[in-house]
Amino acid sequence: MTVIVRDFRAEDAAGFARIRRLALPYMLATPESVLHDVAHIHPDARFRPLVAEEDGELVGTAQTGMVYDSPQPGQGYLNVYVHPERRGRGAGSLLVRTAEEHLAGVSATKLFAWVLDEPANRAFAQRRGYLASRSAHFLRLDLANAALPARREPPADVELRTAADFADDPRPLFELDAETILDEPGDIDYEFTDYGAWLKETWNHPLLSRELTSVAVVDGRPAAFSAARTDGGTRYATVMTGTARAHRGRGLAKLAKGDSLHRARAAGFTEAFTGNDSGNGPMLAINQSFGYEICATEVQHVRALA
């Protein structure tokens, strides 16, 4: 049997999303989201999605590119996923090699890769010169049966709204997202400065649910939010929850997240996912107060290129 790696084609979208779901079921992926990411990612990202084929069957995928929205230059990423029943046949190694060649060709000097915290996966990364760095947890909530805390009444100066209420002018949500990402723990620093790119990559993303994204508003301005994505079925995920610096310490992030969870359950979603850096104690505490439990852990691995 022969394994080859080639560039992604539009007709690969369904297989690409299926492999992502099988290899990493804690993150949402659909054919539409895959096609959107390919079509709308910023050109400075030098994004190159790859697929591995074994005798014509898709058995692996890789997302690779440059972290264009970081103030630190030269940072590249590669995230490789192989069908669980097709591992050990060379697809992962070939995807990594092809991704590394691409990144070296676009002047990457440091490579970042997320690896599930399992012995075989970590050994795979370490054999290729990647060193373990910080970890992050995936968390799951049985939304259909969870005993969610009762909805809190917002403080007198706070109004709970949804992202759909900002459809005519989402810039205030962009500004809040840009402020909160500055304090997101991680090995890579991000700066959201390109409103047009944010509109394409975040606001217009097919998985984003504006109706389930809850926003706490103070004096007419978004002060905290919990951004929700859905897969068109029964799975819901919060991908960012944060509070503006001037309003922290009031419980507004928990207020927004709780509102979003209640909306999601009322809309018929039965399974909720989220993710947290393992060092983000406050957010882990919020999620666990709603009943989320850790279901898997990833470890970011780093390799310097000469």
Q: Is residue 28 part of a domain?
A: yes
What Cα–Cα distance (Å) separates residue 182 from each residue in 10, 60, 185, 189, 282? Answer: 34, 33, 8, 7, 16
Q: Is residue 290 part of a domain?
A: yes
Question: How many distinct structural domains can be found in the chain?
Answer: 2
Residue 21: strand, helix, or coil: helix
> Same domain for 220 and 282?
yes
- Among 66, 86, 108, give the residue marking a domain's end: 108
Q: Is residue 101 part of a domain?
A: yes
Helix axes 31-40, 13-23, angle to 10 degrees: 110
Q: Is residue 180 part of a domain?
A: yes
Q: With bands split at pLDDT 50, 70 and 90, how would you rate the model's confidence at 59?
A: very high
Check residue 10 and give its pLDDT: 98
Q: Is residue 219 part of a domain?
A: yes
Q: Is residue 136 part of a domain?
A: no
How confident is the model over 249-259, as a mean pLDDT?
Answer: 97
> Same domain for 172 and 53?
no
Mean pLDDT of the chain: 96
How confident is the model over 240-261, as a mean pLDDT?
Answer: 97
> Same domain for 59 and 175?
no
Q: With bands split at pLDDT 50, 70 and 90, how would you rate the model's confidence at 211?
A: very high
> Same domain for 97 and 227?
no
Q: Is residue 303 part of a domain?
A: no
How confident is the model over 52-79, as a mean pLDDT?
Answer: 96
Determine the structural domain holding residue 90 and report its residue range.
Answer: 3-108
Cα end-to-end distance, the chain, whole Å: 34
- Among 92, 108, 124, give the residue marking a domain's end: 108
Neighbour-count burial of 52, counting CB atoms closer than 10 A to its CB (0-12 exposed, 13-18 middle, 19+ buried): buried
> Same domain for 165 and 271?
yes
Q: How do residues 69-78 score in pLDDT, each as one tens digit?
A: 999 999 999 9
Q: With bands split at pLDDT 50, 70 and 90, how would you rate the model's confidence at 306?
A: confident
Please report how many Cα atoms fall inside a 13 Å half-sphere around the Cα of residue 288, on the Cβ side: 12
- Residue 91 and residue 2: Cα distance in Å, rounded? 10
Q: How do residues 128-184 score in pLDDT, each as one tens digit?
A: 999 999 999 999 999 999 999 999 999 999 999 999 999 999 999 999 999 999 999
